[in-house]
Structure 1
């Protein structure tokens, strides 16, 4: 740490992790709000609640970190760069309304070995007390969690040749969502559907051979025409098997739909891959494209 004339303290901290996942998955785990909510707490006794998040250049994120002892820690961040190989954000940490630190965070992503690598540089200014050790522990634990999350995360994308409002409308309409949801040959039988933040969808997916698969989606954040977060449960009020999100972005008059899922365990992730969840998920996005007249 080098003291400055104003009495603050500066440090540059570096972190690096190898991850057994593709670069695109790792980058999505770093930026997607639903994923950040899963991995950003550095230890089990700490919880992080994301109050708002807008993952685009110029967007901001606000979160609250709660540990075993007060006070709560508030983090206000702003995204500066969101590129395929590099993301940059600034952040201010405060406690009880007093700023504790300010930092510039740069994350670089690259292919490495059988998977990928993330290198994070934190340019830190401690404003109240020396925050370097807290940052080392926080980022160190968070990146260990990130590695585990990315390694059990599934990422699906499709560019649908239709305006974003139309694609969003087909997804967030209780009449239309059950008409296209699910892989080829599957249908949905709805018990309850309430497509809003804090809402739920309780339904059965029925396979081509008549097999019934009970489902329960619980909705978190819903940002119109931008993203929705939800948890997947095995049947009504059953165990959660994945945290998921869908993001919608304009792409030259078309819409890029990104669907992410973090499975509860690595075993469930491997089982899902084994029975063809990637292919079945892409079939679902294909049915959405046909429903809006894009194919």
Structure 2
């Protein structure tokens, strides 16, 4: 609850949060291993985190099925730990609501193994500027890191460094774009933008390849970012969907991922505000 007061006007803003907010309470230190002492998969880790919140369900699609090595939550809230794990693998994380039930949903965006494409993101509504959209602000920026990503791990048993690499589109979004951010940035005289990621906790080349794909997709996913304010409340345009934006500009029209959906109710008008991103054009 927030109060803003002036000599002529007083505004009281009440903000409601979904169940993910409860993951922000308390900081914990623990390791994630199975009963037999082996590392957990990402799905098992996320399911355990969701289980710490009463009546919060869990589901996922397209996550890496590989068992992790030693995974440590180091004096972090469950929310910060969850976001860090999702950032490393470029997972999309959101709350899905069905009636009075809330569910933590995590979606993979890059293939975890050869020949296993990531699941396509569901398609939401088409939104047209000056019709459904009242105001929109979009920012296109060339990616400056990650055109080629090299990951380095370390095998303790052999004492040798292990390498992973990715220099091509891998995510479901990138494969749908006519021209991705890194392709736009590949023209002369712009230089290449390689990036090295060190992961001494990983010893398998396939795990390092996966992290390289995820890092490259993460760097490219914010080629275009922005915010759209809709004229009315729209419960169909929710986080985790692709929406089709039309009527803005030839450079910016197209499919966008909804990162966040926020509904504003006030005396003058009600609006849905969408946070958007796109990896190409």
TM-score clears 0.5: no
Whose helix proportion is higher, 1 or 2? 1
Whose strand proportion is higher, 1 or 2? 1
When the two structures are superposed, what TM-score results if normalisation uses the length of structure 2?
0.27
When the two structures are superposed, what TM-score results if normalisation uses the length of structure 1?
0.26
